[in-house]
Structure 1
Amino acid sequence: MASSVPAVTILDVARVAGVSRQTVTRALNGLPDISAATRERVVHVARQLNYRPNRAAQGLVRGRDVTIGLVMEDLRNPYYPELASALSRIAAEQGWSVILCDIGEDANKARARLASMVQRVDALVLTGCRTDTVGLLPRSAHRDSALGIPIVILDGSPDDQVDAVVEIDYQSGVRTALDHVTAGGRRRIAMIDSSHIASSRRQSYREYLHEHRLPWTSRSEFRADETHEGGVLASRELLDRYPDADAVLVYNDVMAIGALKGFARAGVGVPDDIAVVGTDGLDIGTLVTPELTSLAIDKTALAQLAIELVDNVLSGRSPAGSRERRQLGLSLVVRESA
């Protein structure tokens, strides 16, 4: 049986021509911002190596379809379906397709799902995934990603294999939320954070309390699973350890809704006894009583940034050698809970 010869890739062309991957994309697609000499050298090398251009990059230039893999941690959290819906609509406006992948908590299954997806898509968008998610990709997938499958992270930390990242400005958001509750006379503010990560929300919360000389002790902070039940359990712990708290900032809306249930079961009034602020701005926040005040992430704006960044990388519009960063702010949606 004859052995297969690995296909020549854009990275091979870039290495031999002595330029970046983005420069090769620009040269082969006739895009501006490179010299005629560089363009000629790249084209010559591509011909010598018998390079066949990436289907996705060709699709952007010639109007052909592009498929994006949207990788999420847990579709049971309503945040992810809301974002998936927004991204699918925006992608469809460009004639692109979206495939969803819920990686779950099993690392082996996640690795298999990601490996399968890489073979079927032209770009990956990772959202809500742990910082080591990219590390779950097999080495061959890393290589393919560096060659023509962009990886864009939403609300996460950039990695060497990532082409672009959208960062959420939690610092300003947390300040807005805490300004709101302190304006209402709240002074003993607790926080329910994720038990999985040391979130930037918690750091911003601590900084705010310190700057405004508000009380903080280890009793002020609680960590829980990012689930409804996690919020219920954390609210009980809060009432035991910090019974005089008069406000609480919660890592996400699902946990915050759990906290509302926990307080209600304990006979603690919201917002009379304690104000509750979630994070995400989910529609389900209007389906509970009291309706949830939340720091809202504009899922449509987040999806638009993701599509724009994928488009930039595939088309070669991203600055050569750069890892593009964009930032998205949050807005406080004031309802009944705070």
Structure 2
Amino acid sequence: MANNRGASTIVDVAALAGVSRQTVTRALNDMVDVSASTKARVLAAADELNYRPNRHAQSMVQGRTTTIGLVLDDLSNPYFAELASALSRVAAERQWSVLLCDIGTDREKGRAQLASIVSRVDALALTGCRSDTLELLPASVLRQSTMGLPLLMLDGPDHERLDARIVLDVASGMTAALDHLVATGRRRIAFVDSDAGSPERRDIYDSYLEERGLDWGGRPHISADETVDGGMSAAERLMREAPDCDAVLVYNDVMAIGVLKTMRRLGYPVPQQVAVIGMDGLEVGRLVTPELTTLAIDKGAIAQASVALLEQVLTAGRPAMREVVIGLTLLVRESS
């Protein structure tokens, strides 16, 4: 029976399984001097009590570094590179390390990569992941027992197995960007979406135009790859189907740079004829001409919140706050 003061302890597990604390430790660490029947009894007791070993304490006792596994779909996207850099810096302040796992688009290769790192990390932080990414994790990690690895989602789908989430307030940010476009006289505002993301951003955009009477006939629904080439092809289609469009809100900065390139090639001056706004707040947005207006995501704030949440999970078994919301900031530059 678990104690009445909070999370179950190793003493509770030992009492329920009828073994010593030392045996529980050896069983949970899969040591060879524990019989299969005893190990099964210990694991069953730990499952029943929702017990998770204090991995952070284990790291300190064993003299090894606490390691976060950062799982993402595409490290070539500068957003994830900037986020990984921020997380590494914040982790280093606690003398932790970060192990990157770029699973890519080949899901079976991604499954193998995830299986190869779960035994080498103390927690997993997932970002830029599709809705099925969690299902690529080994079954032992996805068990509902809190014995599994701590899992943190950074701006991604919710899942019952997650210990905590970082959520971006995309709705407020997009509203600020659209308000800015309207305030500068734009009325035929298009949106270029990702063809791999959730419908959230498209829904926010559609609702904004409908609620403010800004919907316009022939407005194309365009989505593309989250790349410069994707943005270029999306802009070509947009100006072919709606040449009187006077503003474009784009899913991310990388795609928005592709939109800028195509507008220049097609002879649509930015921002005089068409305003362009991206999302992410990447440094590369300051290197293009005109400089890109963007909805900036504070990667440092995400990193600070992520490490704080994981530290709570690793030390106490559960975070004081399961979900942290981070806003987006409109940075008005030359493109709008």
> TM bucket by the smaller chain?
0.7 to 0.9
Q: Which runs of 5+ in 2 are unaligned?
A: 29-52
- Paired residue type of 2:325: Q
Q: How does 1:1-338 map to 2 (within 5 A)?
A: 17-18=1-2, 23-24=7-8, 27=9, 41=12, 44-45=15-16, 48=19, 50-52=23-25, 54=53, 56-59=55-58, 65-143=65-143, 146-217=146-217, 219-316=219-316, 318=318, 324-338=322-336
Report deviation, 1:144: 9.5
Q: Secondary structure at the match of 2:232?
A: helix
Q: Secondary structure at the match of 1:219?
A: coil
Residue 87 of structure 2 contacts residue 303 of structure 2 at CA under 8 Å; is this kept in 1?
yes
Distance 1:61 1:167 in 2: 30
Q: Secondary structure at the match of 1:190?
A: strand
Q: Secondary structure at the match of 1:158?
A: coil
- 1:153-208 CA distances to partner (integer Å, 9 max, x unpaired)? 00011112211111111000000001111110001100000111333221111111
Residue 290 of structure 2 contacts residue 335 of structure 2 at CA under 8 Å; is this kept in 1?
yes
Q: Secondary structure at the match of 2:267?
A: coil
Distance 2:225 2:246 in 1: 22
Residue 170 of structure 1 contacts residue 329 of structure 1 at CA under 8 Å; is this kept in 2?
yes
Residue 60 of structure 1 contacts residue 314 of structure 1 at CA under 8 Å; is this kept in 2?
no
Q: Secondary structure at the match of 1:48?
A: coil
Q: Secondary structure at the match of 1:74?
A: coil
Q: Which runs of 5+ in 1 are unaligned?
A: 1-16, 29-39
Report deviation, 1:113: 0.3
- 1:99-126 CA distances to partner (integer Å, 9 max, x unpaired)? 0011000011000000001011010000
Distance 2:92 2:14 in 1: 33
Distance 1:220 1:41 in 2: 61
The verdict on how the C-alpha distance between 1:301 and 1:46 changes in structure 2, with shifts beyond 3 A counting, is farther
Residue 54 of structure 2 contacts residue 316 of structure 2 at CA under 8 Å; is this kept in 1?
no
Residue 150 of structure 1 contacts residue 162 of structure 1 at CA under 8 Å; is this kept in 2?
yes
The verdict on how the C-alpha distance between 1:47 and 1:92 changes in structure 2, with shifts beyond 3 A counting, is farther
Distance 2:130 2:306 in 1: 18
Distance 1:219 1:323 in 2: 41
Q: Secondary structure at the match of 1:119?
A: helix
The root-mean-square deviation of aligned C-alpha atoms, in Å, is: 2.3
Q: Secondary structure at the match of 1:147?
A: coil
Corresponding pairs, count: 306
Residue 122 of structure 1 contacts residue 148 of structure 1 at CA under 8 Å; is this kept in 2?
no
Q: TM-score, normalised by structure 1?
A: 0.84
Report deviation, 1:317: 5.7
- 1:218-248 CA distances to partner (integer Å, 9 max, x unpaired)? 6342110111100000000000111111011
Distance 1:158 1:239 in 2: 36
Report deviation, 1:212: 1.2
Report deviation, 1:93: 0.3
Q: Which residue of 1 aligns with 2:41?
A: none
Q: Secondary structure at the match of 2:165?
A: strand
The verdict on how the C-alpha distance between 1:55 and 1:41 changes in structure 2, with shifts beyond 3 A counting, is closer
Q: Secondary structure at the match of 2:7?
A: helix
Q: Secondary structure at the match of 1:165?
A: strand
Larger CA deviation: 139-148 vs 275-284: 139-148
Distance 1:313 1:216 in 2: 49
Residue 57 of structure 1 contacts residue 315 of structure 1 at CA under 8 Å; is this kept in 2?
yes
The verdict on how the C-alpha distance between 1:60 and 1:177 changes in structure 2, with shifts beyond 3 A counting, is farther
Distance 2:261 2:145 in 1: 44
- Paired residue type of 1:287: L
Distance 1:188 1:317 in 2: 51
The verdict on how the C-alpha distance between 1:147 and 1:317 changes in structure 2, with shifts beyond 3 A counting, is closer
- 1:280-323 CA distances to partner (integer Å, 9 max, x unpaired)? 0000001100000000000000111111111111112626xx98
Q: Secondary structure at the match of 1:254?
A: helix
Q: TM-score, normalised by structure 2?
A: 0.85
